[in-house]
Structure 1
């Protein structure tokens, strides 16, 4: 049997098993569901580093300390948030209108897992799906199947020890494009959660099933002159956020746009924190390494350290360089480094003035990153209001983009699936949570005499 047939068989088997487990899980007391979710989150904590190390070794992307942080955030912060969220049973009741809402599970969730975040995304999606009373089958990238299966096993074992049906949480052990497509379109699958490259997201939308999917992020980060007294802290936020896990998160900063009054100081402060500003020739060589020439990222250069990228591009950088910066003036594929870069590489623009800075931010977001996120550093409320015109689902103010967007340093919902809205073809611009994985049933009593419609609108 060839690999496609094996993967298709695995998809069919897991979907059927998941559906049976889901049926057996129906009616579980919400308090027991919460206990299972909490137990799974706690089980991740002692193995967070081990799972992160497995992910780095298998995929070659990112670094272990930051993978560990991602795993812990998606276990502990997400579980903390979910603990106070009602997903099953009565959600709310309004005695005045005689309407009440009840949450019910969707069924079997097919969860596509990206190679850039293979363990943390599974943790997030499993907790969210189970909190909503669903079964879940994870379909990892072939390059992340071992660490994906290990993560699922940790969570599934604990859930079953807590009384969850066997098969409620599963992972494909044979993964091909054909097998993943079979899982998404299978009659037992109710909803698809798709995180991955453009081709896989497009396939998810074509599966015929309701789909929660995300688009690319090309996050502009505009630094306004009103931050003149805080440029060091702004530089630290930008460099730290962009370099986190070697840039594998699409919500991290992609391009810095600085007002002319503070641009020189910002460059200097970024250099002091490990940013290396490339020469024009180095930038051109770097772009040829990062991109394939077909308006696509080179998968072999995703999630690599700045040193590895510089070595591949054939130029030298100082020791302890954290990120590479390319000075840019134009936006578009004729300047590839103005696009999304899933590695520690930033574009840097100097605006003519505040209006130009906001206009450039809008252009950068529209080029590849429509609907995702934008970042602003400003103490001027009027500038914040103007910057909100950027066409993104999140506008993150005075915070590192990655930590603000995923809901750690802001009060956005903790999530590792950030919707991009209809700007990029997604059904939601929300931070996706368990609340997106339930059907909401409304029970409504008659509240006005039905015959009155003839008096009010009849002839």
Structure 2
């Protein structure tokens, strides 16, 4: 029986995928925006009926999150994304002046590998490939080991739709033989232009691949309720957001900070909306289950709901419980609840006023270097302005659920599931990543003299027109 070296097979596949994608991208970069838009439009239309099947496969394979929440999210996201992509011009002629001179041209980057996460695999694949096609790039998926089956299933369907509608073969790729050496071979290739790192961050931390990296990982988001806020609305938004898809979305609230004067009201509303406050004994039980270590919790607890966590930790809670809350009097270096937790657990901190809350937010963001988003509930414009000016984050969510508003759903942010993590010390961008971020802009210069002479002609013509008008008016006045 012939033995196959899996590393060699993976390395060879990585090389072939990159070379094929490079050649295909040479073809697709000649496409006009309207040609790419037809492919994206067909993709989003034809993939929609498949979403329920993909989500069911994903949850079954990864055992992460809630199928119902994922389906609702994808439906809402697809609708918003379709509207936003229709308005974007990414490649070709972007800007021209009144004389017809082209001033800016959008240019695709080339071949872009995508490191996928285990959570929300379907949505991340759909979005990454859609913006890649929209911007004229070749995209190669690198599956997470925990979601290889789902990745291959979604990829094959998307590839089939896109190629049937005019995308060159090889423009979309996916690693089948997944090994560390194969992945590293791809990421170190001279033929790739950028790395899109949504998951598998170990590859990015391990080496510098001499390519720009867009980091789109998750983060632990502080949320502050200031005394002027609509407190009932704020608490409902926070609990719903933290429980949504079992806390897997990239900017879900994790630290809740409230002013002392409204603490009692906040506690009561939290309990009314499905929050269970942990006793000290229950905290020890939960931490024994979570086992936070090196900013990571027990993988078995990721993407599980509050009832599952409570049952496994042997904590008695009401059947309506949505989140588990640990009230902390202060934050310290070894605080296990300061670790990022991709599950519905909230750390609750009290501060005497908004200024102390402001400092606490900064510390929470910087202590573990894992926060790229901040949320605040307030009607006080001075406080909002102070938070906006001083917080070291890429986005600030005001009076809305951070989990969905950060993705651009019912908010003024661009629609995206890739939230730039520059403020966490990773990647080259802090913004919501869109198709335009996968291009560069070529600017076209014209001699100043030609513009001056053109202006001179316009001015001369204007002078002539004025003299003619004066003569006409004079004739009228004489009559």
State the distance in 1 between where 2:412 and 2:399 align.
13
How many residues of Structure 1 are paired with residues of Structure 2 in the alignment?
A: 446
Residue number in structure 1 paired with 2:92? 89
Residue number in structure 2 paired with 1:414? 415
Residue number in structure 2 paired with 1:455? none
Indicate the SS of the match to 1:119: helix
Q: Which structure is larger by alpha-carbon Rg, 1 or 2?
A: 2
Indicate the SS of the match to 1:167: coil
Indicate the SS of the match to 1:382: helix
Residue number in structure 2 paired with 1:115? 118
Indicate the SS of the match to 1:220: strand
Indicate the SS of the match to 1:296: coil
- The equivalent position to 1:189 in structure 2, one of 170, 192, 196, is 192
Do the aligned residues in 1 keep the contact of 2:93 with 2:102 (CA within 8 Å)?
no
Indicate the SS of the match to 2:193: strand
Instruction: Report the CA distance between 1:135 and its aligned residue.
Output: 1.0
What's the TM-score, normalizing by structure 2? 0.89
Bigger shift: residues 312-321 or 403-412: 312-321
Superposition map of 1:389-404 within 5 A: 389-404=390-405
Instruction: Report the CA distance between 1:98 and its aligned residue.
Output: 6.8
State the distance in 2 between where 1:402 and 1:333 align.
26
Residue number in structure 1 paired with 2:28? 25
Do the aligned residues in 2 keep the contact of 1:217 with 1:368 (CA within 8 Å)?
no
| Large movers: runs of 4+ above 6 Å | 96-99
Change (3 A) 1:280 1:190: same
Residue number in structure 1 paired with 2:445? 444
Residue number in structure 2 paired with 1:452? none
Residue number in structure 2 paired with 1:208? 210
String of CA shifts for 1:151-204, please: whole Å, max 9, x gaps.
Answer: 11221111111111122122211222222222212232221100125423324x
For structure 1, list consecutive stretches of 5 or more residues without a partner in the other structure.
450-459
Instruction: Report the CA distance between 1:448 and its aligned residue.
Output: 5.0
1:264 aligns with 2:264: yes
Residue number in structure 1 paired with 2:223? 221
Instruction: Report the CA distance between 1:371 and its aligned residue.
Output: 5.5
For structure 2, list consecutive stretches of 5 or more residues without a partner in the other structure.
451-479
Instruction: Report the CA distance between 1:365 and its aligned residue.
Output: 1.2
State the distance in 1 between where 2:79 and 2:158 align.
13
1:6 aligns with 2:12: no
Residue number in structure 2 paired with 1:148? 151
Instruction: Report the CA distance between 1:20 and its aligned residue.
Output: 2.1
Instruction: Report the CA distance between 1:296 and its aligned residue.
Output: 2.0
String of CA shifts for 1:251-281, please: whole Å, max 9, x gaps.
Answer: 0101110111222111211211211111122
Do the aligned residues in 1 keep the contact of 2:215 with 2:422 (CA within 8 Å)?
no
Residue number in structure 1 paired with 2:58? 55
State the distance in 2 between where 1:321 and 1:424 align.
35
Change (3 A) 1:80 1:49: same
Change (3 A) 1:292 1:221: closer
String of CA shifts for 1:262-306, please: whole Å, max 9, x gaps.
Answer: 221112112112111111221222123223434422222110111
Change (3 A) 1:2 1:69: farther
Instruction: Report the CA distance between 1:370 and its aligned residue.
Output: 5.2
State the distance in 1 between where 2:183 and 2:162 align.
24
Change (3 A) 1:284 1:122: same
